[in-house]
Amino acid sequence: MRQASFIINGKRHHVVIGEHEMLSDVIRNKTGLTGTKIGCSQGSCGACTVLVEGNAVLSCITPALRFDGANITTIEGIADTHGLHKLQEKFVEKGAIQCGFCTPGMVLTALDFIKNNPSPTKDEVKMALSGNLCRCTGYKKIIDAVIEFAKENSEENMSVPGDGDKQIATQKIKNTVGIGRPYIEANKKVRGMADYADDYQLKDALHVKFVRSIYPHARILKIDTEDASKIDGVRCISTGKELPITFGVLPISQDETAMAVDKTRYIGEIVAAVAADTEAIATEACRLIKVEYEPIKEFLTIDDSINDIGANEKIHEYGKFNNNIHKKAELRFGNQEEGLKEADVVSKMSFSFAGINHGFTEPHAATAYWDENGLTIITATQVTHYLHRALAKTMEEPLSRIRVIKPYVGGGFGGKGDPFPHEIIISHIARKTRKPVKVCLTREEVFLTNHGRHPSQMTISLGASKEGLLKVLDADIAIDGGAYGSFGVVTSYYNGVLLQAPYKLDNFGFKTIRVYTNKPQCGAMRGHGAVNSRFAVESLIDDISHKINMDPVKLRMKNFLDSNTLTVGHYRITSNGSRESLQKVADQSGWEEKYGKMEYGHGLGVGCGFFISGSALPIIWNELPQSTVHLKVDFDGRVLVTSGANDIGQGSDTMLAIIVAEVLGISMDKIFVLGADTLLTPVDLGSYSSRVTFMAGNAAKNAAENLKKEITTAISLKYEIDAAELYFSDDCISSNDKKVDISWLEAIEIVTANRGAVCVSGKYISPKLGGDFKGAGAGLSPSYSFGACVAEVKVDIHTGHVRLLDIWGAHDCGKALNPLAVEGQLEGSWHMGIGQAMSEEMIYFNGLLVNNNFLDYKIPTTLDTPEIHCNIIETIDPEGPFGAKECGEGALHPVIPAIANAIYDAVGIRITKLPIKSEDVLELIKQKKEQHNKQTTIT
Amino acid sequence: MIAEKKYIKPATLEEAIRLAHEHKDDFSYIAGGTDLLVNKYQGNHIAQCLIDITGLAESKKIAVVGEHLKICSLTRLDELGKHEIITSKFPALIMAASEVASPMLRKTATIGGNILCENRCSFYNQSEWWRESVGYCLKCEGDICIATGGKKACFSKFVSDTAPVLISLGARVELRDIDGSKIIDLETIYTGDGIKPRNIPDTSILKTIILPLNQDIKIIFKKLRPRQAVDFTSLTTAVSLNEEGAIKIVAGGVDPKPVIIKGDIKGNLNDYIKMALSKSRMVDNDYYSRKYRREMLRLFLEQSFEELKNI
């Protein structure tokens, strides 16, 4: 250890640091400036960027002692204490901030760049930001913010702080619904002041590290902790036997323990945990724990697990057959045999898809402690409610003694949507040691935790008449679930059921088999369940359009379901913007002029999709509403919104505030949202299945209407006026005759007189939907979103490299409550789809994940992201809050097949495997040429 | 007991070398550190004493000395493009440097670090736990090469993007150690042994890169990687032609060392390509398959020859 000093943001810090300590650790842990984020610890994501003597450096791979005595600027220091730097203002204004975890690094990288290049082109900005990963925005709004900042600012005034009241001004915009605005917490995020899970530094906290299995499938014979326990600073070592109670997000898949008990089921599974005074001590102690294993035959692929396994040991004991099948889901409607007979043309293809990971930039992190109120855990989660239940179960504590707090969360996309072992383990160790216990997973551990999209194989047949009417769809699907259940039963159904729209299909059926394998478990990821099967169907439609010589846009238009109709599987379709979406992207992309008419190697493709706006059924069956929102207004006129909904960067807190402000006719600055704290907020089931805007939004609307009634009643009594004559708008309550014309605060004085604060509740309960057959509940939703994409590509026929030129996307979100946020969600969805299409895959070697970091797992950078043209389609859903429905997941579906179909248009090859690797494309081009040559020879 | 670590930042080259000899059993020089520190994070680099040479007094100079350009090895990759002589005389070097990693990394990474960049392999650039799980390969004290399923040689890839261009330009490097300086051809420092890919003593500092100025060499540079930023190379080629018609192929990412083929423009170009392919010991330790990278090596060389004709 050595003493060093740094002038950070103008203040000198004398600190004692480790000789090899990285600058990021010193900044975060020794000075408490946690605005500097750590996303990868390997210099691959840029979240840790700070300025040293004005120059940007990646602080996670910078030895602190290199800059002993230096001037360092972190995100907290680029503006004065009250305002924002003008670049920060631009990030806020442009909606360039979603989860906010990459934001500090982006801002500092951009500042450094603009300093040296004050008038950059767009390409230069993209280049400059290409080492900073963002998983939420698709970069578009970030690039826009930087370019606009550069335009508006000369080099001289760069360091002048901006007007910190700017966001507040935007919050005073009248007419709240439908007006684009930054997130309510955007200022806090852009200043680095928003606390994420690993930013909480509790007194005397212990740090936990894990021993993980090195075998995919092995019995644990012995765990020797003796040497580890002798290390000074080690406070507790725990093993699986201490936590034998199983858990899982679905009641029917309670198949996981926090640590492996008798055997391990994947390489990376936690076998033991060490809590110590520092992370370094815990890490060292983990190295000294000796685990004796007896390897068992492992099952690593769908083929391994689907068949009878002979005398070998199954991955899980339950299940009546001698294989590793976890779930079979099958539903059939109409008559597929008849459909096939009726079809003039049938296209049948087999597809395979690699597993992919959510890639959120904030690693899992949590802190737990026990006190007189029981357990409190602050954790990066999308599902406070389900974690609440899982902790009560595994800790064997009453629900009333568990408090789950969601801090700001750096993205989730489904990957923080389950209760996790690390959350249970630190809760357990905190109880044992009576100390706060914290954990932050490395990026490698995040990848091992996984719960990402299932690797899948499927064969699908689609039949149509020669007039282009779809007659039959049959899907045979197998998905690789990894070692545990997670959301897998739902995934199994979604792969199939979510094919019954957006096209009318009378004869439709599917069978999905989910298998266990000895790999990290798969679960829910953005667009849950149907992304891969949607890709397959959209590819088949493209194929049929070629077979019957019909434009694929026209073919889709012919087959779309109408609004206010039922699908063959009894989904109730209400609003439906399929046609508008497709027309929009066709028009905007110049489809008529370009499709099928460009030179060889240059192509245009189209895809469509739809998705649920929240599952109509809860995961755990009970009579609770799907969402409850409480409002409290006190003498000061501020409305406190409390909701269990988890804002994970998608902007749901802002959405709740908009709805409440709209109903009450008040400005946004009178709203305060408290989200996702199971002690303080009423139950919302969480951020999954794209349910929050529809369900929590409706609950907020209902609560606001109830509050409005209370206020109306009080005023009508006082003024002796009919309640129906009162209007709420512009922070006033008035009647047409001006008998009542009072301010919001005056109204609050009236309603709180002799009563005090007014508290009301609002709720959302989905209507009863669906058929009465087994499996009818899967994919049922009170509303569905619809969308379309067109992609334009150029294929290098010599290398097979596919260059994306443009993506045109349109998505029917019912009503954009906050268009800026909706655009952000859509652009982020398309970007994530581009990643799955072009470069992302989880690569295994004998069950060991090879690409477990942000260098080798290929999330598209700014330079790999084409121009994205965003279109919001509004259809005003009859049951959505102000007509709104989902926009966070469904948009992902059409973009991947649009890219593949564009490749077909460019070079005539059909992509049946994701990601689309250059070498596969090249091989297919060659095969096609050979085929062509053969045919020519025969002719 | 957690071992004692040291971080020393000497002010002069002499002091750095003296310190290196003092700690010669367990030390490493560190310049930009963008690779070294990741290797350290993953437990592949375990030196307890780091000697930071970024503060050396004579560092970061680029100067014309007689008929040569001398580039201090501590010059950051993003600084190369700001130097007029380099941009005008050696544009391929700028192109290569600007394709290394990402702009953020290039602000710290040095040209010396890039040409001395540790060889990489999917089975080596992993955490300690990961390598234990896979069963430690040859490069980290295991018995076999995992990538090849058991060969007794290491095929970790040479991944520098700037070195192929520098070798094409006939770069020499000045090495300094306690017994003085020596100047050698850059291409001679690479051993071809994936485990110990360079033959420079640990205590030596690569001080300067020396490029002849009075030559007219045309270079075509190409790089294959999955993304347009961040990624290490899957294949780098620099194909050069001098005024006398001499051709030099330098390929990176295909072997534990740069593969170099020399020839003449009047010779059989296809033979040179075949020789390059035959000398490249590619294995499946990359994002792209061995088969594809071999195919792309052929294509890149064919395209480069074609482009050279058109310059």
The pLDDT tens digits for A673-704 are 999 999 999 999 999 999 999 999 999 999 99
Query: Among A10, A42, A77, where does a domain finish?
Result: A77
Q: Are A355 and A452 in contact (CB under 8 A)?
A: yes
Cα gap B172→B212, rounded to integer Å? 9
pLDDT at A175: 64
CATH number at A174 reads 1.10.150.120
Judgement on whether residues A63 and A94 belong to the same structural domain of the protein: no
Instruction: Over range A352-366, report the average pLDDT.
Output: 98
- If pLDDT is split at 50, 70 and 90, which confidence band does A537 have? very high
Q: Token digits for B219?
A: 């270079």
- Domain boundary at A77, A101, A123, which? A77
Instruction: Copy the structure tokens of residue B65.
Output: 């000395």
**Residue among A49, A112, A839 minimizing CB distance to B227:** A839
Residue A157 is predicted with a pLDDT of 55
Q: What is the CATH number of the domain that holds A687?
A: 3.30.365.10
Mutate to test the interface with A, among B129, B225, B288, B304 (most CBs of A within 10 A): B129
Give residue-wise pLDDT tens across range B169-225.
Answer: 999 999 999 999 999 999 999 999 999 999 999 999 999 999 999 999 999 999 999
Question: Which residue in A19, A128, A214 is closest to B103 by CB distance?
Answer: A128
Distance from the B77 Cα atom to the nearest Cα atom in chain A, whole angstroms: 14
Indicate whether A262 belongs to any domain.
no
- Counting every residue written for chain A, the total comes to 939
pLDDT in tens, A561-589: 999 999 999 999 999 999 999 999 999 99
pLDDT class of A164 with cuts at 50, 70, 90: very low
Say how many C-beta atoms besides its own lie within 10 A of residue A728's C-beta. Answer: 19
CA distance A805 to chain B (A): 14
Please, which residues bridge with residue A4 across strands?
Answer: A15
- Measured at the CA of A871, the angle between CA A868 and CA A873, to 5 degrees, comes to 155
Name beta bridge partners: A869.
Answer: A808
CATH of the domain at A63: 3.10.20.30
Confidence of residue B310 (pLDDT cuts 50, 70, 90): confident
pLDDT at A939: 61
Predicted pLDDT of residue A85? 96
Residue A72 sits in the same domain as residue A112: no
Q: Give yes or no: residues A64 and A98 share one domain.
A: no
Average pLDDT, chain A: 96
Nearest Cα neighbor of A356 from A270, A416, A420, A415 is: A415
Confidence of residue A33 (pLDDT cuts 50, 70, 90): very high
Please indicate, yes or no, if residue A42 is contained in any of the structural domains: yes
> In B37-75, which positions are buried (b, 16+ CB within 10 angstroms) versus exposed (e)?
bbbbbbbbbebbbbbbbbebeebeebeeeeebbbbbbbb
Nearest to residue A477, comparing CAs of A647, A349, A666? A349
Same domain membership, residue A93 and residue A72:
no
Mean pLDDT across A763-788: 95
The two beta strands, A867-874 and A913-914, are: unpaired
Select from A256, A413, A245, A420 the least CA-distant residue to A326: A256
Residue B259 near residue B248 (C-beta atoms within 8 A): no
Buried-state track A889-898, b at ≥16 Cβ within 10 A, e below 16: bbbbbbbbbb
Kindly identify which residue of chain B lies nearest to residue A861, measuring between CA atoms. Answer: B229
In a domain, A845, yes or no: yes
Tell me which chain A residues have a C-beta less than 8 angstroms from the C-beta of B2: 280-281, 284
Contact between chains at B134 and A848 (C-beta distance less than 8 A)? yes
Interchain CB distance below 8 Å, A19 and B5: yes
Q: What is the mean pLDDT of residues B248-263?
A: 98
Print the SS3 string covering A521-567: CECCCCCCCCHHHHHHHHHHHHHHHHHCCCCHHHHHHHHECCCCEEC
Three-class HEC string of A593-638:
HHCCCCCCCEEEEEEEEEEECCCCCCCCCCCCCCEEEEEEECCCCC
Specify whether the CB–CB gap between B269 and B307 falls below 8 A.
no
Q: What is the pLDDT of residue A937?
A: 74
Could you tell me what percentage of chain B is helix, strand and coil, using 3-state DSSP and rounding each to the nearest 5? 30, 25, 45
Q: Which one is predicted more confidently, A517 or A170?
A: A517
pLDDT at B3: 60
Of A215, A86, A197, residue with least CA distance to A150: A86
Question: Residue A502: is the preceding peptide bond cis (ω within 30°)?
Answer: yes
Shared domain for A926 and A797, answered yes or no, is yes
H/E stretch holding A829 reads helix A819-838
Cβ distance A246 to A230 under 8 Å? no
Write down the pLDDT at residue B60.
64
Q: What are phi and psi of B4, to 5 degrees?
A: -75, 130
Phi-psi region of A144 (alpha: psi -120 to 50; beta: other; left: phi over 0): alpha
Residue A733 near residue A742 (C-beta atoms within 8 A): yes
Bridge partners of A611, per DSSP, are A785
- At A82 the pLDDT is 66
Share of chain A residues as helix, strand and coil, in percent rounded to the nearest 5: 35, 25, 40
Strand order, beta sheet including B235-242: B217-224, B235-242, B246-252, B259-264
Q: Per-residue pLDDT tens for A120-162?
A: 999 999 999 999 999 999 999 999 999 999 999 865 554 544 4
B290-310 and A918-938 helices cross at what angle (nearest 10)?
80
Cα separations in angstroms, A877 against A247, A576, A695, A784, B170 = 37, 8, 13, 9, 69
Contacts of A863 in chain B (CB under 8 A): 227-229
Is B5's Cβ below 8 Å from some Cβ in A? yes
Strands lying side by side in the sheet with A437-440: A234-239, A270-276, A206-212, A437-440, A365-371, A374-379, A402-405
Q: pLDDT band at B125, cuts 50/70/90?
A: very high
In angstroms, rounded to a whole number, what is the distance separating the alpha carbons of residues A767 and A826?
27
Residue A367: inside a domain: no
A744 and A815 share a domain? no
Crossing angle of the two packed helices A140-152 and A86-94, in degrees rounded to 10 = 140
Number of Cβ atoms within 10 Å of the Cβ of B182: 11
Which of A126, A845, A862 best probes binding to B when mutated, by most B CB atoms within 10 angstroms?
A845
Which of A29, A44, A77 is the last residue before a domain boundary?
Answer: A77
User: A662 lies in which domain range?
Assistant: 627-764
Confidence (pLDDT) at A80: 75
The answer to whether residue A510 scores a pLDDT higher than 60 is yes
Coil, strand or helix: which one is A443? helix
Positive or negative torsion for Cα B105, B110, B113, B114: positive
Element (H, E) at A218: strand A218-224
Greatest CA separation found in chain A? Answer: 96
**Amino acid in position B297:** L
Q: Are residues A792 and A934 in the same domain?
A: yes
Q: Is residue B64 pLDDT above 80, yes or no?
A: yes
8 Å CB contact between A573 and A611:
no
Query: Contact at 8 Å (CB) between B41 and A53?
Result: no
* Assigned domain for A275 exists: no
- Cβ within 8 Å of residue A720, ≥6 positions away: none
State residue B55's pLDDT score. Answer: 92
Torsion over CA of B263, B265, B270 and B275, rounded to 10 degrees? 10
Question: Is a pLDDT exceeding 70 seen at residue A174?
Answer: no
* Stretch A409-436: mean pLDDT: 98
Residue A887 sits in the same domain as residue A911? yes
Q: Which helix (H) or strand (E) holds B271?
A: helix B269-279
Residue A665 zone, left/alpha/beta (φ > 0; ψ -120 to 50; rest): left
CA dihedral A898, A903, A905, A909 (to 10 degrees): -120
- Residue in chain B lying closest to A230 (CA): B1
- Residue B101 forms contact with A (CB below 8 Å): yes
Of the candidates A783, A771, A844, A832, the residue with the CA atom closest to the CA atom of residue A807:
A832
SS (H, E, C) A258-283: CCCCCEECCCCCEEEEEEECCHHHHH
Contact map slice: B 138-167 vs A, CB within 8 A: 146
For A332, the enclosing helix (H) or strand (E) is strand A325-333
For residue B34, list chain A residues with Cβ-Cβ distance below 8 A.
Answer: 43, 58, 61
Q: Which residues of A fall within a CB distance of 8 Å from B232?
A: 855
In angstroms, the Cα distances linking A843 to A198, A360, A840 are 28, 18, 9
A149 and A57 within one domain:
no
pLDDT at A626 over 60: yes
**Closest residue of chain A to B82, computed from CA coordinates:** A116
Over 90: is that where the pLDDT of A840 sits?
Answer: yes
Which chain A residues have a beta carbon less than 8 Å from that of B288?
A: 917-919
Cβ contacts of A301-305, under 8 Å, gap ≥ 24: A301/A480, A301/A517, A302/A455, A302/A457, A302/A478, A302/A479, A302/A480, A302/A515, A302/A517, A304/A517, A305/A480, A305/A515, A305/A516, A305/A517
Q: How far apart are CA B192 and CA A607, in angstroms?
A: 49
**Across all residues in chain B, what is the average pLDDT?**
96
Q: What is the pLDDT of residue A139?
A: 98
Q: Is A66 helix (H, G, I), strand (E, B) or coil?
A: helix
Is residue A439 within 8 Å of A207, Cβ to Cβ?
yes
Q: Which two tokens stand for residue A887?
A: 């926009």
In terms of domains, do A153 and A29 share one? no
Q: What is the DSSP letter of A29?
A: I
Instruction: Evaluate if residue B1 carries a pLDDT over 70.
Output: no
Residues A639 and A569 in one domain: no
ipTM of the complex, rounded to two decimals = 0.97
Looking at residue A408, the DSSP 8-state letter turns out to be B
- Averaged pLDDT, A471-489: 98
Strand partners, B183: B174
Per the structure, how many domains does chain A have? 4
Tell whether A726 and A859 lie within a shared domain.
no
Classify residue A492: in a domain, yes or no: no
Torsion angle of C-alpha atoms A709, A769, A694, A665, degrees rounded to 10: -20
In one-letter notation, the amino acid at residue A795 is V
Dist. CA A799–CA A887, nearest whole Å:
36
